[in-house]
Structures are given as structure tokens and as C-alpha cells.
């Protein structure tokens, strides 16, 4: 079957891997799905969308992610299909067929990483350039704008039709990873896919409101605190400049905000004209710093984040640090260089 990604170069995924994935899924009676810890719209949307399609095809489906504090982020609680989710403790220990979504490295499976090692077959669906090649069947294409694009392709090859609920999940993955079609990863194929999804009758205005136009009042208070300590270093990041700030557990506790509520701060500070690189360090409930980085294109943040144990793309990547914010920024700056 030809690729549904019209307008793109020949896909990076080998035909034999597509055929193997289709054969495994078609022959399975039960499928265990998983996405990365602290799931974003592409990870959770891709997993739930495909899970609903599998269930409609008569498969038994279980889905999860390996966070110690298992909870769907507030911004994504509008997604359909959440009745497929189980806590990590209820996830199959040795799945016959396991499928991961938007996961570049096995450690991003968190508590469920050991289960992946015991799966008889593991299909990896991902679009990160930093993907390490784990799993038995790689459906990995760094040129895809989102993992949800690869999921739609796989659905087409399986003969699964789109409905509004599935489309809502896949559209969420597409718009979150393209920044609502603002990022350079946006391709003609991304817009063509959006048209197919919208044609199912989903409400793009309601999805946009849930994703970007809602926050509790105390978030504004916290944002004022965080922006009050923002720093601009025009000599950092190989001379391209960096703007950065951090959000501590103490900051969040002062306003009774969970970790998930601070994800969008990076999109505020990245608007700064002067630097190429924007960074936000967010202290999680366990005391580790989750570092989000963005680049306007002159610096490859994905390469630096991968070297620090994380991963991502040239213009958007992240990693975990157990150093202080200042020490973390120093290590990051030492690794940042011009985009290759």
C-alpha cells in the first residue's frame, strides 16, 4: 500500500516493518499499549486513538504509562478512550504484543520499562530523531510531524476507518506537536491529515480551548513569580543566546498547582526576540528537574539533550537533571553548538 503521507519524501519506515506490524496486530487478540511518562498530547492522543480503533476491530486492549503518580494531565482529560487506561500495577507483565507511542528511549517508559523487555513483540511507533532503535518492529520516521501521523498511516494499512473520537485523539497529537501548525515540522501532509480528521466532525475550536485557552487563576500568579527571575544570556548557546528560568516545587506549592500546570511556560519565554534558545527547568514532585528546551533553528537542542540523557528534535527537546538549575544550565551550554 502506498504511503498516505502525500507530499512527503519516501517514508523512512521500511515496507517490511509496516507489513510485520500489520501482521502482528491483525493476528493478535489482545494488545498492550504504552506511551511515555508524563504524556503529552501526541503520546496520549496517539495511544488512545489507536486503542479505540483496535477495540472497534474486536481486539482486547489495555493502555497505560509508567508514572508513579498515575494521572492523566488536566489539559488532556477531554480526550475520549480513557476507559482503556489502567494503572501500571495492572499492566500485563509479559505482553504477547506491546505497542509504544512517541517513546524515543526505553527508559521513558518509567515503571513499565521492564515489561517492554519481556514482551514477545514490541512495535515502536515514534518520530523522534533521537530514537535508540529499541523494540522488535520499528515504525519510526523522524520526518513525520507527529507520532499520530504514523498511527493514521498504520490504521489505513490495517483497513481501520476514522471516526470522530479517534480523530479527536489523533488531531490532538498533530496540533500539539506542530504547535497548531506553527512549527517548521509542519508539512503539506500534516495539513492533509488535518483535513481528513476534521471531516469526521470533530470540533477544532473545542480542542483548541482545552489545549491552550484554559488555566486556573493562580497560574497567572505563578507565572509572575517565574518571569520575575527569567535570565537572558546573549553569550550562551554558542553565541546564539539563551533565555531561561525555573519553577521549583516551592513555587508550585505556594499556589497549589500540580506539576502538569507549568508545562506551557516554555511557550511564553520562547517568544523573546534576542536569543535562539529558550529553556525552562521544572522541579517535579520527586525533586528532579525536568528540562524543556526550544530553538529557533540556529542551535540543535536535540543533540545536546540526548547527550544529557534525554532526547527530542533539533528545535524541541528535553532531559532530566539532578543538579541545581545553574549547574544544569552550565552543562547544557557546554554542549550546545550550531545546528549541523
Question: 2 pLDDT exceeds 70?
Answer: no
Confidence (pLDDT) at 113 = 97
pLDDT at 184: 84
Q: What is the pLDDT of residues 200-211, one digit of tens each?
A: 999 999 999 999
Which residues are within 8 A (CB) of 58 and not within 5 positions of it... i.e. 6 or more apart?
Answer: none
Per the CB < 8 A criterion, the answer to whether 316 and 301 are in contact is yes
What confidence score (pLDDT) does residue 10 get? Answer: 41
Does the structure show a pLDDT above 50 at 187? Answer: yes
C-alpha cell of residue 46: 496517539
Are residues 191 and 210 in contact, defined by beta-carbon separation less than 8 angstroms? no
Average pLDDT value for residue range 25-41? 97
* Segments in the chain forming alpha helices (H): 15-27, 41-56, 113-118, 147-158, 164-177, 188-198, 204-212, 217-227, 249-254, 265-269, 301-307, 325-335
Band of residue 3 on the pLDDT scale cut at 50, 70, 90: very low
Tell me, what's the pLDDT at 9? 41
pLDDT band with cut points at 50, 70 and 90 for residue 297: confident
Query: What does the pLDDT read at residue 183?
Result: 86
What is the pLDDT at residue 260? 87
* Positive/negative CA dihedral, 80, 262, 211, 106: negative
Average pLDDT, the chain: 93
Question: Which 8-state DSSP code applies to residue 195?
Answer: H
Q: Is the pLDDT of residue 252 over 50?
A: yes
Check residue 7 and give its pLDDT.
41
pLDDT of res. 11: 54
Model confidence at 1, pLDDT cuts 50, 70, 90, reads very low
Higher pLDDT, 22 or 314: 22
Q: What percent of the chain has pLDDT over 90?
A: 85
Half-sphere exposure at residue 231, Cβ-oriented, CA atoms within 13 angstroms:
12
pTM of the model: 0.87
Distance from C-alpha of 292 to C-alpha of 304, rounded to nearest angstrom? 12
Can you give the pLDDT at residue 337? 61
Tell me, what's the pLDDT at 5?
Answer: 42
For 165-191, letters b (16+ CB in 10 Å) and e give bbbbbbbbbbbbbbbeeeeebbbebbe
Looking at residue 162, what is its pLDDT? Answer: 97
- pLDDT > 70 in the chain, percent: 95
Q: Cβ neighbours of residue 138 under 8 Å, at least 6 residues apart?
A: 13, 17, 124, 131
At 122-155, the pLDDT tens digits run 999 999 998 999 999 999 999 999 999 999 999 9
pLDDT for the residue 76? 96
Return the C-alpha cell found at 223.
507565572
How much is the average pLDDT of 205-222?
94
Amino acid at each position: 500500500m502506498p504511503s498516505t503521507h502525500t507530499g512527503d519524501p519516501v517514508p523512512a519506515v521500511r515496507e517490511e516493518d509496516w507489513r510485520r506490524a500489520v501482521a502482528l496486530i491483525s493476528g493478535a487478540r489482545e494488545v498492550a499499549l504504552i506511551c511515555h511518562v508524563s504524556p503529552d498530547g501526541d503520546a496520549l492522543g496517539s495511544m488512545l486513538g489507536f486503542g479505540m480503533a483496535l477495540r472497534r476491530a474486536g481486539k482486547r486492549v489495555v493502555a497505560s504509562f509508567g508514572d508513579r503518580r498515575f494521572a492523566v494531565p488536566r489539559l488532556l482529560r477531554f480526550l475520549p478512550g480513557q476507559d482503556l487506561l489502567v494503572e501500571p500495577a495492572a499492566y500485563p507483565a509479559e505482553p504477547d504484543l506491546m505497542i509504544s507511542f512517541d517513546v524515543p528511549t526505553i527508559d521513558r517508559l518509567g515503571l513499565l520499562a521492564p515489561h517492554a523487555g519481556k514482551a514477545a513483540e514490541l512495535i515502536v511507533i515514534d518520530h523522534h530523531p533521537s530514537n535508540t532503535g529499541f523494540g522488535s518492529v520499528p515504525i519510526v520516521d523522524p520526518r513525520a510531524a507527529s507520532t499520530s501521523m504514523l498511527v493514521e498511516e498504520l490504521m489505513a494499512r490495517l483497513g481501520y476507518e476514522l471516526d470522530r473520537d479517534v480523530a479527536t485523539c489523533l488531531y490532538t497529537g498533530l496540533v500539539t506537536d506542530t504547535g497548531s501548525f506553527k512549527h517548521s515540522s509542519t508539512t503539506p501532509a500534516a495539513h492533509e491529515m488535518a483535513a481528513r480528521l476534521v471531516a469526521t466532525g470533530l470540533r477544532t475550536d473545542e480542542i483548541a480551548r482545552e489545549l491552550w485557552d484554559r488555566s486556573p487563576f493562580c497560574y497567572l500568579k505563578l507565572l509572575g513569580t517565574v518571569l520575575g527571575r527569567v535570565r537572558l544570556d546573549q553569550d550562551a548557546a554558542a553565541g546564539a543566546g539563551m533565555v531561561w528560568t525555573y519553577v521549583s516545587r516551592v513555587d508550585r506549592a505556594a499556589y497549589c498547582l500540580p506539576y502538569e500546570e507549568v508545562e506551557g511556560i516554555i511557550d511564553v519565554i520562547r517568544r523573546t526576540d534576542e536569543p535562539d534558545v529558550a529553556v525552562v527547568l521544572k522541579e517535579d514532585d520527586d525533586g528532579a528537574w525536568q528540562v524543556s528546551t526550544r530553538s529557533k533553528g540556529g542551535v540543535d537542542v536535540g543533540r545536546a539533550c540526548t547527550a544529557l540523557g534525554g532526547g527530542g528534535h533539533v528545535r524541541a527537546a528535553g532531559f532530566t537533571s539532578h543538579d541545581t538549575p545553574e549547574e544544569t544550565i552550565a552543562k547544557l551550554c557546554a554542549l550546545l553548538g550550531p545546528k549541523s
